[in-house]
């Protein structure tokens, strides 16, 4: 049974009008009474009627989701789910805009984010930042001016952001090392392929990767290969000796498919274990041939739907204190279960010669940054 203002009033022996004023944050009620009403409301499990609240105020709240452009298959799916879920809340005056900004070239995302915070045109912002540290000051400024800011897929933990929805990147690196160990018990040398840039995501994936070997008293030589996501083949040419002589490879940045493609073209595969992140038809083609041993994935649909609901509950509910983060579970994709993770929207198209044409590509292949 839904708890109403009338029921709370009866329990406290005060008027329904007074309870209604407290529950809707209206003035004219003594502090002592406010405390009594809120305590009794919590005790009885009162949940605010969001539809009634909107009808009484007719206030529309605007939320911005600031997302990267690539990889298309990942962020397109998140964008579509955001648009699907927002329809559930539109009757409450909840308006969501999705903006995609490049995170690879220059500081376009950072500049745009700074601009929208300064303009104060949104009631809340959800951002999937390229890195953590460069965004701290802007997030803090936005929160100080009254704009609740949430992070999605990549966190800025040292900021005053309200909550984070996404995976734990330390755990991702740890899991990658575990998978390599399970696939190849005898490990003399392992290679960690990552961005040269020390982003929050790269730092914590590497920490987790190293920690697994330390925890299990394993001591393989860990080689680092810094690979620019926009110049994979050129960078890989410089690291080819490491690739040839290693027992296991972890691709921490989002270029798993491109690394596998490079190894195929250069014929440098030596039965190394190859682990990385994400799944699409391009990556799956290498999983099916055994070039890629497994991929670590996170559910973009869950991230999108949880983020929308979290912001809605914050803006329309009584949750104004500390929020809890939502850590999305990591999933392991192998040859036998990959078909369940593929989005048909990004199935390869075929030309007249029936050769596959890669979908969602930039440059010489899919550009992955997750």
Q: Are residues 112 and 235 in the same domain?
A: no
DSSP 32-59: HHHHHHHHHHHHHT----HHHHHHHH--
Number of compact structural domains in the chain: 3
Identify the bridge partners of residue 65 per DSSP, sorted by sequence position: 98, 126
Task: Give the CA-trace dihedral at 169, 174, 175, 178, to 10 degrees.
Answer: 170
The set of residues, in sequence order, having a beta carbon less than 8 Å from that of 177 and lying 6+ positions away, is 190, 208, 209, 210, 211, 212, 213, 250
Residue 202 lies in a domain: yes
Identify the bridge partners of residue 296 per DSSP, sorted by sequence position: 277, 332
Q: Are residues 240 and 150 in the same domain?
A: no
Low-confidence winner among 47-51, 96-100, 246-250 (lowest mean pLDDT):
47-51
Residue 362 lies in a domain: no
Identify the bridge partners of residue 362 per DSSP, sorted by sequence position: 365
The set of residues, in sequence order, having a beta carbon less than 8 Å from that of 203 and lying 6+ positions away, is none
Q: How confident is the model at residue 52 (pLDDT cuts 50, 70, 90)?
A: low
pLDDT at residue 6 greater than cutoff 90:
no
CATH number of the domain where residue 310 is located: 3.40.50.2300
Residue 366 lies in a domain: no
Residue 114 lies in a domain: yes
Whats the size of the chain, residue-wise?
A: 370
- 231-244 pLDDT, tens digit each: 999 999 999 988 99
**C-alpha span between 115 and 119 (Å, rounded):** 6
Q: Are strands 331-333 and 349-350 parallel, antiparallel or unpaired?
A: unpaired
Low-confidence winner among 104-108, 156-160, 305-309, 323-327 (lowest mean pLDDT):
104-108
* Predicted local distance difference test score (pLDDT) of residue 237: 94
Task: Give the CA-trace dihedral at 275, 152, 65, 127, to 10 degrees.
Answer: -100
Q: How confident is the model at residue 361 (pLDDT cuts 50, 70, 90)?
A: very low
* Predicted local distance difference test score (pLDDT) of residue 346: 65
Q: Are residues 227 and 338 in the same domain?
A: yes
192 vs 364, more confident: 192
- 222-232 pLDDT, tens digit each: 999 999 888 99
Q: Are residues 191 and 219 in the same domain?
A: yes
Name the residue range of residue 159's domain: 57-166+300-327
Q: Are residues 181 and 146 in the same domain?
A: no
Residue 364 lies in a domain: no
Residue 365 lies in a domain: no
DSSP 94-132: EEEEEEE--SSSTTHHHHHHHHHHHHT--SEEEE--S-S
pLDDT at residue 370 greater than cutoff 50:
no
Q: How far is CA 81 from the centre of its chain?
A: 13
* Predicted local distance difference test score (pLDDT) of residue 290: 94
Residue 179 lies in a domain: yes
* Predicted local distance difference test score (pLDDT) of residue 230: 86
Q: Is residue 101 a contact partner of residue 125, using CB atoms and an 8 Å limit?
A: no
Q: Are strands 349-350 and 356-357 parallel, antiparallel or unpaired?
A: antiparallel
**C-alpha span between 14 and 6 (Å, rounded):** 9
pLDDT at residue 67 greater than cutoff 70:
yes
pLDDT at residue 318 greater than cutoff 60:
no
Q: Are residues 247 and 306 in the same domain?
A: no
Q: How confident is the model at residue 269 (pLDDT cuts 50, 70, 90)?
A: confident
The mean of the pLDDT values for the chain is 87
Q: How confident is the model at residue 366 (pLDDT cuts 50, 70, 90)?
A: very low
Residue 370 lies in a domain: no
DSSP 265-301: HHT---S-EEEEE---HHHHHHHHHTSS-EEEE--HH
């Amino acid at each position: 049974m839904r708890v109403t203002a009338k029921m709370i009033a009866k329990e406290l022996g005060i008027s329904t009008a007074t309870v209604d004023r407290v529950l809707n944050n209206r003035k004219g009620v003594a502090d002592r009474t406010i405390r009594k009403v809120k305590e009794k409301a919590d005790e009885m499990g009162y949940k605010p009627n969001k539809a009634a609240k909107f009808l009484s105020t007719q206030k529309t709240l605007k939320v911005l989701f600031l997302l990267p452009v690539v990889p298309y298959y990942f962020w397109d799916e998140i964008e579509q789910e955001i648009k699907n879920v927002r329809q559930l809340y539109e009757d409450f005056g909840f308006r969501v805009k999705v903006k995609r900004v490049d995170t690879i070239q220059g500081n376009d995302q950072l500049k745009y984010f700074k601009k929208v915070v300064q303009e104060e045109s949104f009631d809340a912002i959800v951002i999937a930042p390229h890195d953590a540290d460069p965004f701290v000051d802007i997030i803090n400024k936005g929160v100080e001016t009254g704009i609740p800011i949430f992070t999605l897929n990549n966190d800025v933990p040292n900021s005053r952001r309200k909550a984070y929805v996404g995976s734990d990147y330390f755990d991702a690196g740890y899991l990658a090392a575990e998978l390599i160990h399970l696939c190849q018990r005898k490990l003399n040398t392992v290679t960690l392929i990552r961005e040269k840039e020390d982003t929050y995501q790269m730092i914590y994936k590497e920490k987790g990767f190293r920690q697994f070997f330390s925890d299990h008293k394993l001591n393989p030589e860990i080689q680092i290969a810094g690979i620019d996501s926009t110049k994979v083949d050129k960078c890989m040419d410089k690291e080819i000796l490491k690739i040839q002589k290693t027992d296991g490879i972890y691709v921490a940045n989002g270029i798993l498919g491109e690394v596998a493609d490079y190894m195929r073209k250069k014929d440098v595969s030596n039965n190394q274990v190859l682990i990385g992140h994400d799944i699409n038809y391009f990556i799956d083609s290498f999983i099916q041939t055994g070039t890629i041993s497994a991929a670590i994935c996170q559910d973009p649909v869950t991230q999108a739907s949880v983020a929308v609901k979290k912001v809605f509950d914050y803006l329309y509910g009584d949750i104004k204190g500390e929020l809890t983060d939502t850590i999305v579970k990591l999933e392991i994709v192998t040859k036998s279960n990959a078909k369940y993770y593929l989005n048909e929207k990004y199935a390869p198209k075929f030309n007249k010669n029936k050769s596959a044409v890669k979908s969602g590509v930039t440059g010489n292949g899919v550009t992955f940054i997750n």
